[in-house]
Amino acid sequence: MTLDIGGNFRHELTGCFSQGSNSNPTVAMVEASYRVNKMHYRYINCEVNPDQLQDAVAGAKAMNWKGFHCSIPHKVSVIKYLDQLGESAKVIGAVNCVVNRNGKLIGENTDGKGFLQSFYEIADPKGKTIVLLGAGGAARAIAVELALAGAVKFYIVNRGSQRGIELKELLNSKTDSTAEFISWNETYVIPSDADVLINSTSLGMIGEPVDQDIDYSSIGPGLIVADVIINPLNTAFLLKAAARGATTIQGIGMVVNQAVIAIQEWSGVDVNPVDLTNELMKALQI
């Protein structure tokens, strides 16, 4: 029996399905935003093994979750359990955010969208030539969103050839941009026609050397240099680029913006990214 006492005792549910879920700080910033905006929502980190993913997705749908993030190792395997994919997720071939739209689970990819939003604060990607260091999941999402936003040329620079070539072929076949792969087996010189340099690798993280990887003398004023790393905020990579006169973009904007986009998709509420940024910095102690 339930008693009608004028209250709402049910929260709208969101969260993240992943392995290693205890290390995901997204919950801290999303829950903080829900509180600040007085939203009757919750965000739950869920430990989901690969053989449990189908049941987890079905459970979220049955319980009318508003949506959920998918993190490692589920970003590709979740696709077969969804009803539909958004445009960029279809091109990227990976999903990091699922949205419940009228009972149908739609797979989106907000990583690249989060980066794109940070980029727009500095410049318009239309007509730009991009150097992309790395070819993993973050690189794919960023490259596709920049291509869809009008970037015309990509240099894909990666240690291993397989993923680099795959990303090159994806951009050439599924977007209007052109791309070439460059094997990163020596100190890399930034080409003179580059407008943007993006690091999507561990280059510049605490303890990671940077001097032997990039010829920083090839960076100059006018180049936009971005990083996906969030700790430290100003990586050695960004600091060295800034010293050469480049305009830099920190990685924290991508992380915060993708969460802001997810909240909007799940709830229809436009939240202030400052609240999420402050809470994330507190959680990471930076």
- Enumerate the active-site residues: 75
Does residue 51 contact residue 77 with C-beta atoms inside 8 Å?
A: no
Residue 154's identity, in one-letter code, is: F
Which secondary structure element, helix H or strand E, spans residue 265, and what is its range?
helix 252-267
Q: Of 245, 199, 200, 178, which Cα lies nearest the Cα of 218?
A: 245
Does residue 97 contact residue 70 with C-beta atoms inside 8 Å?
A: yes
* Mode of pairing for the β-strands spanning 247-249 and 214-215: unpaired
Long-range own/partner contacts, residues 120-128 (CB < 8 A, 24 or more apart) = 121/249, 121/253, 122/224, 122/247, 122/249, 123/224, 124/149, 124/150, 125/149, 125/150, 125/151, 125/196, 126/150, 126/151, 127/151, 127/152, 128/152, 128/195, 128/196
Q: Of 107, 106, 185, 181, which Cα lies nearest the Cα of 139?
A: 181
Tokens describing residue 2: 């339930």
The alpha carbon dihedral of 101, 103, 108, 111 has a sign of: positive
Tell me how far the alpha carbon of residue 126 is from its chain's centroid: 20
Q: What is the DSSP letter of 190?
A: P
